[in-house]
Amino acid sequence: GKVRDSDFDFITILGSGSCGAVYKAKHKTTGELAAVKVIPLDISREVQHQIISELDILHQCKSPVIISFFGAHFNDNKISMYTEYMDGGSLDMYMHIPESILGPISVSVVTGLQYLWSLKILHRDVKPSNILVNTAGSVKLCDFGISVQLIDSIAKSFIGTNAYMAPERIQGHDYSIHSEVWSVGVSLFELSSGHFPYKNSLNLWRSIVDDDPPQLDKSSFSEQFVDFVSKCMQKVPLMRPAPESLMQHPFIQMYVNTSPSLVAEWVVEQQRLIKLQQQHKQQQQ
């Protein structure tokens, strides 16, 4: 079905990235919640139509680890993309995630990427803010590169700097599945340690290309986790775990059968803490 802005009440803004904003909205009759990403784009009608038809493939992306797509349309020069709302938000909101939670999260991320790769889709933007969680314990990927035209149009309108890019991508070499494995490693490094692996933000891209990849502190994490992250962050793309063997890594294997209730309980608790913090802030004002 088609989605129309007039069918929804816009409730609040969830966040904004480099190229637009995401709103929480509620369907007026069914009450179903949605996340609406709105991006202004100065492009022709023809390109608009092309983007909408390319996004149609999203209706076929059905997986418990991929965000559900409801529909998209242009209003004047703005595209609105409607997807499933995730009440735990994105992982960038949480730092120092314990390994016992990052384990099942990693299983979902690897499963989701393998699903996309099996459809010949590259994600192109793996990072903590594009990994969403909810209080049912689901972990889902969003914002993957489905429409070539949309990627192109966004690239022409916005300057994106992406700190999660693999060295070969920074250098303008071939972008491949291996580059996404790098971004998984950097994301897990940051989420577990609470800080971005590269400290030199002025020459960030040069550090990523020239320096030895940083290593996690071995005393704080399991051997398996440290190994998984450092294998993903190998500078030579082919040295990283092959896409088909990612799932076989001991770190992933430790968590393949974890119950979703573990992540669910963690998200519920984190949301409770976030709300308490917000209340505290409001009382101080």
Q: Which residues are catalytic?
A: 125
CA distances in angstroms from 19 to 16, 151, 153, 240, 272, listed in the order given: 8, 11, 11, 31, 30
CB closer to ligand ADP out of 150 and 216: 150
Binding flag, residue 143, Mg ion (CB under 5 A): yes
CB closer to ligand ADP out of 135 and 224: 135
C-beta separation of 86 from 130 below 8 A: no
Q: Which of ligand ADP, Mg ion, none sits in contact with 43, Cβ below 5 to 8 A by type?
A: none
C-beta separation of 196 from 190 below 8 A: yes
Minimum distance of ligand ADP from residue 143's CB (angstroms): 5
Give the footprint of ligand ADP on residues 71-130 (CB under 6 A). 83-86, 89-90, 92, 129-130
Piece of the chain touching Mg ion by CB under 5 A; list 93-101, 121-129, 153-161, 248-256: 121-129
Q: Which of ligand ADP, Mg ion, none sits in contact with 106, Cβ below 5 to 8 A by type?
A: none
d(C-alpha 17, C-alpha 242), whole Å: 31
Give the footprint of ligand ADP on residues 119-178 (CB under 6 A). 129-130, 132, 142-143
For residue 38, what is the enclosing H or E element? strand 33-40
Closest C-alpha to 122, from 144, 147, 142: 144
Show Cβ contacts of residue 230 under 8 Å, excluding neighbours closer than 6 positions: 185, 213, 215, 216
Binding flag, residue 138, Mg ion (CB under 5 A): no
CB closer to ligand ADP out of 17 and 243: 17
Among 4, 11, 16, 195, binds ligand ADP (CB under 6 A): 16
C-beta separation of 175 from 158 below 8 A: no
Closest C-alpha to 243, from 188, 182, 165, 197: 182
Q: Could you tell me whether strands 131-133 and 78-84 are parallel, antiparallel, or unpaired per DSSP bridges?
A: unpaired
Piece of the chain touching ligand ADP by CB under 6 A; list 14-22, 206-214, 240-248, 255-263: 14-22
Instruction: Give me the residues that bind ligand ADP (CB under 6 A), please.
Output: 14-18, 20, 22, 35, 37, 67, 83-86, 89-90, 92, 129-130, 132, 142-143
